[in-house]
Structure formats: structure tokens, C-alpha cells
Chain A
Amino acid sequence: SQQGEEDPQALSIQEGENATMNCSYKTSINNLQWYRQNSGRGLVHLILIRSNEREKHSGRLRVTLDTSKKSSSLLITASRAADTASYFCATPPLGTSYGKLTFGQGTILTVHP
């Protein structure tokens, strides 16, 4: 069964703009991770946020987590054409192995030069 769902399914922006993607999940979690997938580099881990954290930054990425709403968001600031990719949130449901990630269907981000 699907734990996380990303929204929107597709997002198209111009270079330099910010991109925001959202993830909602169904059951309580210990942590939530964001991954990026493109044809060049495959599936790559971006950031991990634990359930006791509300916000985390990594370079141009900002992730928030609201456990009361069971939702997370990924913000990419000053986007570049190289950010074009599919973005997935993934969580291990509470009570399962930390490694048992359940991925959503992803948001397809297109950044136009």
C-alpha cells in the first residue's frame, strides 16, 4: 500500500523560480526522506528529516515536516535546469524496519532554461 503521496504530480517552472512539492502520508512515522531521480544520476538521496524535527536545510533545499497534518514539503530555491527530475518522498511506517521505505508516485519537475 502507498504510504506517501506527492502533490502536484507535475510542475513546470522557469529557471530561477522556486519549486515547492508536497507529500502527505497515512500512518505515523519515525522519519521522512526525499529522493530525486533523473536519467543521468539515477535515484539519489536528498535529505532526511526525523519526526522530532520541523525544518531542515541542505544547500538550496528546505524540507518541512508537520506530523500533526502528516505532511511534508520540499522547497527548491533558485531552481536550475539541472534540477529537472522526479522527486519522491519516502517513509518507513512506524513499527517497521527503518529501511522499509515506502515511496510515493513522485512529482515530475521541469525547469525551463
Chain B
Amino acid sequence: EAGVAQSPRYKIIEKRQSVAFWCNPISGHATLYWYQQILGQGPKLLIQFQNNGVVDDSQLPKDRFSAERLKGVDSTLKIQPAKLEDSAVYLCASSLGTGGPYEQYFGPGTRLTVT
């Protein structure tokens, strides 16, 4: 079974530039998550999708971050404009659904460095 795919794996940009990350979840997984993990901390949930609808985006900095999952499969997360404090690993995860507690499967992440 193929895992969660993410690209790119690494990205270096200057502050005020924009960047986009892509995620393809495990086939058949209805729920997709984006997390931000700052060095030395646990992952923080940014946004949760159920199919192509948003379930929770309460921790997404909406003035600069946006995410979409147009066809209920893959997803993109965008930052515009980036700040130094956005330097982190961005993890995508998927799970079967939200109807019960399910384990989440994580991708390898995208390491973003903002200079």
C-alpha cells in the first residue's frame, strides 16, 4: 500500500516570498490533515479536511496560509507571504474518516527554511 506522498521534500525561500506544498493521501482515506512542526516541538494541526470540505481550520493563520482539497483527493497548502517564523516541517497526514478514532498516517514532510 502506497503511503502519503508529499513534495517537495525541502524548500528554501526568502521572507515575503510565497510557497506551496502538495500532498497525496493514501487511496480511500477521506480525511486529510496538514500539520506544522517547529524544531523541538510536537506537530500542530493547521487544517483538517473531510473529503473536500473543511472540518477544522481554527489554528490556520488565515491571513497568510491557505489550503485546498478540490477533488477530495490531493491537497495543496500555500503560504503567502512567508515569515521567518514559518520555518518548520509541514506534515501531511490522512486517515480513513472522522466517524471514530482512527490512526493517522503521515507523509515524510516538507522542510521549509525561510531566510
A residues with a Cβ closer than 8 A to B are 30-31, 33, 42-45, 48, 50, 88, 90, 92, 96-106
Contacts and interface: CB of A to CB of B under 8 A. Distances in A.
B61 interface: no
Contact-size category for B = 20 to 34
B109 interface: yes
A42 B108 contact: yes
Contact of A104 (B42, B103, B105): B42
Contact of A97 (B55, B104, B105): B55
Interface of B: 31, 33, 40-45, 48, 55-56, 91, 93, 95, 98-109
Contacts of B91: 42-43
A101 B98 CA distance: 12
5 contacts: A45-B104, A88-B43, A92-B101, A100-B45, A103-B42
